[in-house]
Amino acid sequence: MPRPAACLFDLDGLLLDTEPCHGEAWRQAALHFGLSLRDGQLLQLRGRRRVDCVTQVQRWIREAGHPVPTAEALLALQQPVARRLLPHAPAMPGARRLVEQCRELDVPMAMVTSSSRASMDLKVAPHGWLESIALRILGDDPALLSGKPAPDPFLLACRRLGVAAAGCWAFEDSPAGARSAVAAGCLVHVLAPEGVGPSAYPAQVRWLRALTEVRLERNESCGEPISTGG
């Protein structure tokens, strides 16, 4: 495999194991308004901006025949649970080492997340190794017109890094994030949640069982890094 022009990392469920925290927060908030969220519904929320998640949960509450809360009322219940749980989310296996490999080999990096700045700060605070990823495309970035699954977040990352999307490796876990990266033209590596099969994702993605499968190695014959992946 040629060396990637850049590595573009999702955050939730890819670098940090935060998705159980988000899922529990949305479950508790929706249940207060009469809706018991199913695992499949929580999967649909993965990788999406908070504003888009709120709209989706409101739609499900309406379809279930319950009175629809305002966005403010829904978030007033969801956010405290998320803020309590998220600082305790551990790193995903292999995530720290992969980021360190990119830094050591001068492979440009960006974090491409649907999280807001405040939420991102809360999650990454216990993980100093994430400071290596200086460029961060956030869900509340003023330059972002649409969030995942639209290609906008990854295209914005490429534009700010000054690289072509076709040369970038994107790492995602959610179907929405994978669709976003594929639509942007990246080579997409997917670390799928347990029990979620290929039918939920674009056909073009490459599958990972763990981030430890990804290797960024140095070509000793010419001194340049080369990249391999599962």
Give 185-230 pLDDT, tens digit per residue.
Answer: 999 999 988 888 899 999 999 999 999 999 886 644 333 444 445 4
CATH topology classification for 6-17+89-228? Rossmann fold (3.40.50)
User: How far is 9 from 181, CA to CA, in rounded Å?
Assistant: 10
Instruction: Name the percent of the chain lying above pLDDT 90.
Output: 86
pTM: 0.84
Strand, helix or coil for residue 200: helix
Q: What is the pLDDT of residue 224?
A: 42
Among candidates 3, 12, 40, 13, which has minimal Cα distance to 210?
13
Structure tokens at 174: 């959610």
End-to-end alpha carbon distance in the chain: 11
Band (pLDDT 50/70/90 cuts) for residue 28 is: very high
Tens of pLDDT, residue by residue over 30-86, are 999 999 999 999 989 988 899 999 999 999 999 999 999 999 999 999 999 999 999
What value does the mean pLDDT take over residues 2-21?
A: 94
3-state secondary structure 37-100: CCHHHHHHHCCCCHHHHHHHHHHHHHHCCCCCCCHHHHHHHHHHHHHHHHHHCCECCCHHHHHH
User: How far is 56 from 157, CA to CA, in rounded Å?
Assistant: 26
Query: How does the average pLDDT of the chain come out, rounded?
Result: 92
**Domain extents for the chain?**
6-17+89-228, 19-87
Among candidates 3, 57, 50, which has minimal Cα distance to 32?
57
Q: Distance from CA of residue 164 to its chain's centroid?
A: 20
Q: What is the pLDDT of residue 98?
A: 97
Query: Is residue 1's pLDDT more than 70?
Result: no
User: How far is 178 from 22, CA to CA, in rounded Å?
Assistant: 19
